[in-house]
Amino acid sequence: MRGQAGAPEAPCEGAATSDREIPASQRDADALDDVDRSIIETLQRDGRRSYSQIAKEVGLSEGAVRRRVQQLRDNGVIQIVAVTDPLQLGFTRQALVGIKVEGDVRQVAEKIVPFPEVDYVVMCAGSFDLLVELVCEDDDRLLRILNDQIRSIPGVSATETFVYLKLAKQTYTWGTT
């Protein structure tokens, strides 16, 4: 790494030597080290933290943090997004839909994923084969998606809709260990 005027950059106090020995692009994508975990936890608390602020917390240079964050993004470990409150954006109906499938559950999931109202699709075991969260403008839109789109997919044998009345908790700060 180079600092200003091409001079070698001095390691930050407490810097992890592994960051200098193994470039992020060569580290195993599945192996998160303690520094990666600290970066993730910092971004979970405040996704707008600057690289320089994070660097001070984890003991690396700003450039090293930038590279690590980019690698975590490239590997699909993290996404940096603005989380919104659907109600404040005019989406007054949220629901979880349990779907029973006859045949290949993956094929049904692939047909549901592109719907813009779909927040997430989970293949699962238990009473339902798929759990789908929908965020809609209103009940009429929810009805059209359920009746005209989801229930008309070949392989969908039954659905059960759980309409959200009030969100009591939503968090994005899962532990990294």
| Single-letter amino acid, residue 17 | T
Closest to 105 measured CA to CA, from 159, 156, 162: 156
Domains and CATH numbers, the chain: 4-74 (1.10.10.10), 86-163 (3.30.70.920)
pLDDT at 177: 66
Beta bridge partners of 112: none
Q: Where are the alpha helices (DSSP H) in 16-136?
A: 17-21, 34-45, 51-58, 62-74, 105-112
Read off the pLDDT of residues 124-170 as tens digits, 9 standing for 90 and up. 999 999 999 999 999 999 999 999 999 999 999 999 999 999 888 88
Specify the pTM: 0.68
* CA proximity to 137, closest of 83, 94, 99: 94
The percent of the chain in helix, strand and coil, each rounded to the nearest 5, is 40, 20, 45
* 8 A C-beta contact, residue 157 and residue 110: no
**pLDDT number for residue 28:** 55
- At 22-50, the pLDDT tens digits run 444 455 545 889 999 999 999 988 889 99
pLDDT tens-digit map of 102-118: 999 999 999 999 999 99
More confident residue, 5 or 159: 159
